[in-house]
Each structure stands twice: as C-alpha cells, then as structure tokens.
Amino acid sequence: MREFFQRFEWDEQTLTYRRVSLLSWKAIRSIPRVFFWGLLFGVGLTPLTYYSLWERYILRSVEKNIVRIRQAQQAIQAEISEIDKQRQVLYERMQKFYRPLLGMAPLSPETWNGGMGGAATTPEELPLYQTNLLLAEYLAIEKHFAEMNARLDRMPCIMPVNGPIVSGFGMRADPFTRQPKFHEGIDIDAPLGAPVRAAAAGRVITADWNNGGYGLEVEIDHFNGIVTKYAHLSKVAVKRGDLVTRGQIIGYVGSTGYSTGPHLHYEVIENGIKVNPEKYILIP
C-alpha cells in the first residue's frame, strides 16, 4: 500500500533516481486547489448542461407545434378544396337547371370570374366573390320559386267536388223553361251534403244567400284577377274575409236557389268575365 503512494524522480545533481512520496506536504497542500478548480468547473458546467437540456426541450416543442400547424393547414386546405367543389356543383346546377327553368339567362363567364364591375380583382378575392354571388343568385331563385308556388296555389286547378260534369259551359236548354240559355259555369253531380273544396288559395268575399238564383253560395278571390263561385250549397263552412287554401272545405252540396236537385254549380270569373272552368281543371 505504501508503494502505491510513491513514485521515482530523476535527480540532476546526483544523477540517480530518488524515491518521492505522493503524500508529501506539497502534494497534500495542492489538494484544496485541485478540489476548488474541480468544484468551480462542475458548478460552471451544470448551468450549461441545464441550458442544453432546456434548449433541446424547446426545440422539440417547436417541432411538435410545426407538425400540428402543418396538419391543420392540410385539413384546412382539404376543406377549402371540398368547398370549391361544392361551389362549382352549385354553379353548374344553377346554370343548367334553375335559371333555364325560371326563364333566366345563364350567368356570363365574365360575371362568374369577377371580370365585370371589378368585383374581384385578385385570385384571393375570387372564392369569396363567387360564394357571395351564388348566395345572391340562390336567394333570388328561392324568391322566384316562392312567387311561382304562390301563383300556382292561387290557380283553380282542381275539381271542387267529386262527381261527373253533367252540364257544361255555354248554351244549353234551361232546366225549368227548356228555352236556350247561356250556362255561365259547369254543374257537377254530387250527393247532398258532399264536401265542397276551394279550387285554389284565396280570400272569401261572399259566403251568403244570393237572390239571383244561386241560392247559398261562396265566392273566393284568388288575388290574380280570378274569382271562383260555388253555388246551390246546403251549408257554408267559411265566412267573409277568411283566408282559405286549396282543398279546404268551404261548404256542402245542396239544391238551394234555382236548382232541380243536389249538385254544385261552379264558375270561374277571369278579370270580370266568366270563362269555362274546365280549362283550369288539371286535377279531376
């Protein structure tokens, strides 16, 4: 053990090796200095180590955030692509179906691509411009369809009661006098008490007795220049001022007034002129 703490040095004066102990006072005195420098080196190295670890953590977090941002960008781009496809589908449907159906001319390519009026001057503005254009077009189309449906709802296109037409519009023999007389409507054979329905939507303007031979009658104004009359009723189911829809029960078949038996006398008055109701009846 003693030999472990010894070493040999060359002595220039004696020209021989001499034994030197490692536990000399000089060596022992140098221990604190070595310890001090080691401690100082360790203390200085520790912050550097921590800084390096923190830097690696920050870099890894940044990399993860970059990956998430790229994934989000890819998802957004996929959604944008899908929106572009849907916008194109809506555009083609509008051009090929809705506008021709409503008698409207197709949009010009210049208008669609923002070339008229300077509405869209950059590629970045074009998608929003086209989306707003489609929205405006479809709102206009929806308005057109609503107006068309309203017009159709006000057209007297159904039979007001189930039964055959037994007397048509025009000249005929008066059922009482047998003399030629112009028949201003059509007579529909139906049993007493059968429900009579409004031929179209409108407002009731008459629901009362008529002294001119029609007996108990209902008249409906359809707000399009057309008025329908339902006569010889046994009972009315509406009153003046009521708004009615197509197919709504407004009364019941009777034989009141100038009548020989239960039936419905039905008239269509177009801009004040009585016309043949059969030209309007599309659904028997």
Q: Say yes or no to pLDDT of 250 above 50.
A: yes
* Over residues 117-144, mean pLDDT: 79
Q: What percent of the chain has pLDDT over 90?
A: 43
Mean pLDDT of 148-174: 93
Lowest-confidence segment of 53-62, 191-200, 236-245 by average pLDDT: 53-62
Residue 265, φ and ψ in degrees, nearest 5: -95, 120
Low-confidence winner among 33-47, 63-77, 99-113 (lowest mean pLDDT): 33-47
Q: Of 124-138, 159-173, 242-256, which range is least confident?
A: 124-138
- Answer with the residue of higher pLDDT: 160 or 73: 160
Q: Is the pLDDT of residue 55 over 70?
A: no
Confidence of residue 237 (pLDDT cuts 50, 70, 90): very high
Window from 12-21, 35-44, 57-66, 218-227 with minimum mean pLDDT: 35-44
Per-residue pLDDT, 220: 98
Kindly report whether the global pTM for this prediction surpasses the value 0.75: no
Name which residue leads in pLDDT, 211 or 230. 230
What is the residue whose two structure tokens read 């194109």? 88
Chain-centroid distance, C-alpha 245: 27
pLDDT score of 228 more than 80: yes
**Domain 165-279: CATH superfamily, name plus number:** Glucose Permease (Domain IIA) (2.70.70.10)
pLDDT confidence band for 84 (50 / 70 / 90): confident
Mean pLDDT: which of 15-19, 74-78, 228-232 is highest? 228-232
Beta bridge partners of 187: 167, 265
For residue 57, pLDDT beyond 80:
no
Residues with Cβ within 8 Å of residue 127, at least 6 apart in sequence: 80, 83, 84, 87
- Give the start-to-end residue ranges of the domains of the chain: 2-65, 107-153, 165-279
Mean pLDDT score across all residues of the chain: 82
pLDDT in tens, 11-41: 666 666 566 555 454 544 555 555 545 544 5
65-69, 151-155, 197-201, 219-223: segment of lowest average pLDDT: 65-69
For 234, the token pair is: 């046994």
- Is 80 exceeded by the pLDDT of residue 144? yes
Whether the Cβ atoms of residue 263 and residue 166 lie closer than 8 Å to each other: yes
Top-ranked range on mean pLDDT: pick from 44-48, 123-127, 130-134:
130-134
Using a pLDDT cut of 70, give the percent of the chain over it: 77
Do residues 210 and 219 lie in contact, with contact meaning Cβ atoms separated by under 8 Å? no
- pLDDT at 134 exceeding the cut of 50: yes
